[in-house]
Chain A
């Protein structure tokens, strides 16, 4: 079972939910932190025995002794990552999407591919949670290649939770596609509602069942609930605003450590999701 936690709007409580659900489960679980630009789950899980691996992507390397300046590499590249300028070939590795097109098309076989580091993956364990987090190197533009590598650490025999990044574009799609269920975490405000609407369209596009968790549920207005009812999206949980929860969060203390009674609520949430997923199969 793969459950993704997404939102649209930033700061609604995705990491809070994914960390606390993972820690509440009775079985061993995997938590994939796919918010590779700003990963936070490790601040709460505090994993032990962390192993780090470098993550690389392929970028072109041009042998100028073979190059005939035909510009075919420049013509095929959709991302302006390689160009022929006077008697030299310039590459922009940060723009390269590693499609291999330039190497394939070069009539002189002048282009090979070499590894370039874009970030790291760290794997650690705390209690029942195996945490895999990706950290994009600062200055790197593209999150999806690293997110794809994080996702390869999914183990089918265990329940997997995915902490997705905010937004609605390619990093979110890379994080959540292929999930069995998406929890959309929102807040009952105009920004929360608008971004929820966008995120919901992404989920529909990917044809994944979903449900809503409303965080800070007692501030704002009722329009998120209205939206949920109009679109027949189940509201799975409401977490009221509590300054003490905010303060515990600020310190890196998981919610279930501050309020152990919430562990059962997260277990019940998982059971509800499991029933929905089974009923849709």
Chain B
């Protein structure tokens, strides 16, 4: 099974727009939206016939006031100060560690399974798709990312497909780590800005830490040619390479507003040719990889 994961470091560089474009080009695949905090791929893919599954992770404490003697042991040992003087638990502060549940001498604290989101399998005009929605202000996004990737893998095997195209989250923390582990190749979509370059260095470092090869695409590269050159040098110095440079063009936004990929919106646009060339290069590397 081969998997391309599209990440960025910096948010808003164009990952989902790029994944949508690559979805138009790549064949025999399963799409996976691993940006479970703010999953947007469905806004272009328009998935149908959704299978809806609940996602449970971790537990949530609940004090049974009938049994509680207010000894205060739970309060004293809660490192998040989530239990107040009235023995009410602040679920936003609560980390779900279970110390209060285990330590209560009266066994007055219940520890319920936590439903923290949903994950879905659906069809789209570009293939099957697995995506998710994390509950509001929930933790465990890394676990949900791991789950959607596992389900995408299962689905691909079932359908005898051998490629997964994954839209990753921004940043470098646990959702990103969960989205790139075991990937064949990571595509980093960046922008030619001082912030884009700063964040690129950190996401490349993360891919190297996990020994996953990466390639870079500079979106809106003509906003700052000098910065674009710095990005190219940075990529080369870090065992990576810029394999695509996309000029700024409002048609990306116009395509998004119409819920279309750029290939559907304006296939004659020269950017479509640039992305096709980039995709050919990516697919070459992916198919030849041992990962």
- A-side interface residues toward B, CB under 8 Å? 8-12, 15, 37-38, 40, 43, 76, 78-79, 97-101, 104-105, 136, 138-143, 165-173, 177, 189-191, 194-195, 198, 201-202, 205-206, 219-221, 243, 246-247, 249-252
Contact = CB atoms under 8 A, between A and B. Distances in A.
A251 B175 CA distance: 29
B195 A220 contact: no
B267 interface: no
Contacts of A252: 194-195
A169 B9 contact: no
Interface in B240-259: 248, 250, 253, 256-257, 259
Contacts of A166: 11-12, 37-38, 170-171
B9 A38 contact: yes
Interface string B30-53: 000000011010010000000000
Contact of B194 (A76, A165, A250): A250
A195 B41 CA distance: 12
Nearest to B39: A194
A18 to B, nearest CB: 13
A250 B219 CA distance: 13
Given A99-B99, A190-B257, A206-B137, A9 B250 contact: no
B283 interface: no
Interface of B: 8-13, 16, 37-38, 40, 43, 58-59, 77, 79, 92, 95-99, 102-103, 134, 136-139, 141-142, 169-177, 191-196, 198-199, 202, 205-206, 209, 220, 223-224, 227, 248, 250, 253, 256-257, 259
A81 to B, nearest CB: 10
Given A10-B170, A101-B97, A141-B173, A168 B37 contact: yes
A76 B170 contact: no
A83 to B, nearest CB: 16
B228 to A, nearest CB: 10
B77 A168 contact: no
A251 B194 contact: yes
Nearest to B200: A38
Contacts of A191: 16, 40, 43, 256
13 contacts: A10-B13, A37-B176, A38-B170, A40-B10, A40-B198, A76-B98, A143-B171, A173-B92, A190-B256, A198-B38, A205-B137, A251-B193, A251-B227
Overall SS of chain A's interface: loop
Nearest to B13: A11
Nearest to B170: A10
A93 B193 CA distance: 35
A40 B196 CA distance: 9
A19 B96 CA distance: 35
B139 A169 contact: yes
Contact of B172 (A9, A15, A138): A138
Given A141-B142, A143-B171, A251-B194, 11 more contacts: A11-B170, A37-B202, A40-B10, A78-B96, A99-B98, A139-B206, A171-B171, A191-B256, A198-B38, A249-B193, A250-B227
Contact of B10 (A38, A105, A169, A195): A38
A205 B136 CA distance: 8
Contacts of B199: 38, 40
Contact of B79 (A37, A100, A220, A251): A100
B136 A97 contact: no
User: Which 5 residue pairs are nearest across A and B when measured between Cβ atoms?
Assistant: A11-B12, A10-B11, A99-B97, A141-B174, A37-B171
A179 to B, nearest CB: 13
Nearest to A165: B171
Contact of B224 (A38, A104, A143, A251): A251
